[in-house]
Amino acid sequence: MANIEAGVAADLIAELNHIGFSVSATSASPLPKGDLYAVLVENTASTDVHGGENKGRHLDHVSVVRLLQRIGKLEKIGSGSPVFQIKVPSDANLADMSLIVFAQDLDQGPIRGVISTSAKQ
């Protein structure tokens, strides 16, 4: 089993509403087949509830997933550090968001590596 260490650098392209980032892996042997995923997470959020059993309450949330996207194949990053882009939701506040990238074996197998960084430039 290869030991994967993913490295992520986030670079915001504000006018295009995208975040560009590269991913690299270190392993002494060829990388296994797997998938790469990007997750854009809002660190904190809140909701004023107007109906239902929580009507009138103010709810605070942490680590709200705003985007989960398969961005590529794990085995393809062994030959370099490809650059990926994800679209940022139009109402996103990047100052309060994190970008998480993880590598996972095929068929929802084990997670091989995870990295997190601030989405703010």
- pTM, two decimal places: 0.80
Q: Is residue 72 part of a domain?
A: yes
Average pLDDT rounded to a whole number, residues 41-49:
94
In the chain, how many domains are there?
1
Q: Is residue 84 part of a domain?
A: yes
pLDDT in tens, 46-85: 999 999 999 999 999 999 999 999 998 888 876 667 778 8
d(CA 40, CA 33): 24
Q: Is residue 64 part of a domain?
A: yes
Q: Is residue 54 part of a domain?
A: yes
Q: Is residue 76 part of a domain?
A: yes
Q: Is residue 83 part of a domain?
A: yes
Q: Report the CATH number that the domain containing residue 65 is assigned in CATH.
A: 2.60.40
d(CA 42, CA 62): 7
Q: Could you tell me the residue range of the domain that residue 95 belongs to?
A: 7-118
Q: Is residue 42 part of a domain?
A: yes
Q: How confident is the model at residue 9 (pLDDT cuts 50, 70, 90)?
A: very low
